[in-house]
Chain A
Amino acid sequence: MIELGGLTKAYGDMVVVDGISLTIPSGGITSIIGPNGAGKSTLLSMIGRLLKATAGTVSVDGLDVAATPSNTLARRLSVLRQENHITARLTVRDLVTFGRYPHSRGRVTAGDRDKVTAAIDWLGISDLAGRFLDELSGGQRQRAFIAMVLCQETDHVLLDEPLNNLDLKHAVGMMKLIRRAADDLGRTLVVVLHDVNFAAHYSDRIIAMRGGKVVHHGTPDEVVRADILTDIYDVPIAVHELAGTRVVTCFG
């Protein structure tokens, strides 16, 4: 369970995240949607302690993120941002092995190696395990990074725009993986998404943000509504019911 209390981030006079208080329950997929500049990534970075909050608190399973030792948190919570440039030349297996660092502190055991192999298999990239990251396509590299955070075996996994730069096929594959991580592995996923259709179809809960504030949150049925989305994105949006799924269009 992730609890936010009055969480705020400001750069000088510019408030990017404005006093958000919210509880994200354990289990399932929670998507954060909203227009550019709504503060989605900033919020996720603060929950993942990559960014220091100006005010307010974040607690994960009752642990205050600002006060708990980083290594303790690394076994409860993992976070992956959208840009993942790495200077070191690593193979996929090297990278995924880093996911065990919070547990092994660098002394990798046979058990760790098994978990690394399992994570690589689970993401279906076994044939790429020996390849270097700079030899992979964007979608393959994305999977390698997801394998690393899953290998960390944290209850909470935060992903910032995991569909970034993926084509339709890979985006669907990625969302199915995230769904399986929630259903089969019992992880709690918090995901920043740009595509409302993906959020509507795959999430259990949606947090809708605008101007640094949470304006709506609830199940996809509650949030994915024409009036709410039009209000958030400031363009006319229609919601259709198609074969049991809500589909969002915004072309007038």
Chain B
Amino acid sequence: MLLLAIESSCDETSVAVLRDGRILSTLVASQTALHAPHGGVVPELATREHLRNLPLLVQRALKQAGVLATELRAVAVTQGPGLPPALMVGLASARGVAMAAGCPLYGIHHIEAHLYSPWICPQRREMDWNAFIPNLALIASGGHTLLVHVSGAGRHQVLGSTLDDAAGECFDKMAKLMGLGYPGGPEIDRLAAGGDRAAFNFPRPLLDRASDDFSFSGLKTSVRYFLAQHPQERDERLPDLCASAQAAVVDVLVAKAVRAACRLKVSAITASGGVSCNRALRGALQDACTSQGMTLRLAAPEYCTDNAAMIGMLADWKIRQGAAPLALPAESRPRWPLQELAS
């Protein structure tokens, strides 16, 4: 089955073409440079860019895949959650393709797709279903931070999520306070490599609580107060500052993920979302899993951030499981809770 997948939930326009679950082409048009001067994603700008980028990207993806749009047998699109106008453009574009090609359209939950992106084998460019085992999934990005128990393919339960800022949002805000550019996560990651993670002691929010929820706004505030009291540290010890702030985020994410995995007696942890590209997080998760005798599946960097390949992969699996296509009245779902799909 030849499938076209479209992702436009935030500031990345992405298109992928898959045949029988294998990626033939995958493209991402990043808008990072466009939003950088504003210090964050501006929904209006993102939407205008999606509208311009999507036709070009689909054309290129089809060409790279060596297929014609008339050969498509299904179209999949991120239906939610995400920025309302950005989702709307993706859905309308996908619907236009699907109706013209006379094929069904499938709406995919963005976070659910992230749950399975660590199981995409980058070499074979298809899902490694044979290796799939029940796991604890950590999803950490600029818009989401969740712990999810994935008890089987298509079966999951949300254990906890952030009560305020997402981990990536916290990185961006801390970076801004430190005078760094946007996006803040990669900048902090880069500078932290030369710093001492124990130089400054920032709080590890909710780490002592039994809950699987997160809270990062207090950490950002702590960094703000610290810099107000010690402004010279920003200039003199920026790498230490980055490493210490990053360590606070990483420690919380890793400790809560491992604790939940142990409690649920699952033998694997997975991580996806833009923040899981962070080298300190990847290293700390690896160390923790090794010491606990757990398997770690990290999404490949190209499948960590928002991408249409993971949307297409999940759609392909769901179609084979008999999922129903979207009806014509269906609209985007900007606040679609993952719990709604739980089973």
- The answer to whether A and B interact is no
- A-side residues, CB < 8 A to B, are none
